[in-house]
């Protein structure tokens, strides 16, 4: 199963970014396809926070309603799975967050990587290089 990181979701939503067309088509293919794919819950929150942030998008930030409409379109895909923490998550999370270079904002990435690992995600689609700290998870940059 593939999972999609926040940056790919943001690029698919924001038309002004250079990666928009690639990301939009990628998400459309996943949403309309039969193969299961996933969005980790932390990426849902981060997407909503990012696309509605006026400091990032100036006067053209998405409204909360626009962000939610976009998320709902992905949620409604029959092949989509929203994945989060599992029953035995603490032990797995500990093994990710106690690594030498995992601190500050990378803790969020550790959480996403641990969630993906817990759910048997084969590949995370992301442009974020910090995921290389978690070799248990295969990461593919769909923009190269």
pTM: 0.95
pLDDT at 121: 98
pLDDT in tens, 4-51: 999 999 999 999 999 999 999 999 999 999 999 999 999 999 999 999
pLDDT in tens, 51-96: 999 999 987 999 999 999 999 999 999 999 999 999 999 999 999 9
Average pLDDT over residues 112-134: 97
pLDDT at 59: 79
Which string of DSSP letters, residue by residue, matches 47-98?
HHHHHT-HHHHGGGPPPHHHHHHHHHHHHT-TTEEEE---TTHHHHHHHHHT
Task: Provide the residue ranges of all domains of the chain, joining segments of one domain with +.
Answer: 2-140
pLDDT at 122: 95
Does residue 130 surpass a pLDDT of 90? yes
Does residue 120 surpass a pLDDT of 90? yes
pLDDT at 45: 98
- CATH 3.50.50.60 assigned to 2-140: no
Task: Please report, for residues 40, 42, 86, 117, 118, the alpha-carbon distance to residue 83 in angstroms, rounded to integers and kept in the order given.
Answer: 5, 9, 9, 10, 9
Does residue 106 surpass a pLDDT of 90? yes
**Distance of alpha carbon 10 from alpha carbon 17, whole angstroms:** 9
């Amino acid at each position: 199963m593939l999972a999609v990181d926040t940056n790919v979701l943001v690029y698919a939503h924001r038309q002004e970014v250079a990666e928009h067309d690639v990301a939009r088509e990628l998400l459309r293919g996943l949403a309309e396809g039969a193969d299961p794919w996933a969005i980790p819950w932390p990426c849902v929150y981060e997407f909503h926070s990012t696309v509605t942030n006026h400091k990032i998008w100036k006067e053209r930030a998405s409204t909360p309603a626009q962000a939610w409409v976009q998320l709902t379109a992905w949620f409604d895909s029959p092949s989509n799975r929203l994945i989060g923490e599992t029953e035995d998550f603490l032990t797995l999370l500990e093994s990710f967050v106690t690594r030498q270079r995992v601190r500050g904002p990378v803790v969020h990435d550790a959480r996403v990587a641990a969630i993906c690992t817990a759910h048997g995600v084969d590949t995370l689609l992301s442009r974020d290089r910090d995921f290389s700290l978690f070799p248990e998870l295969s990461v593919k940059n769909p923009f190269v």
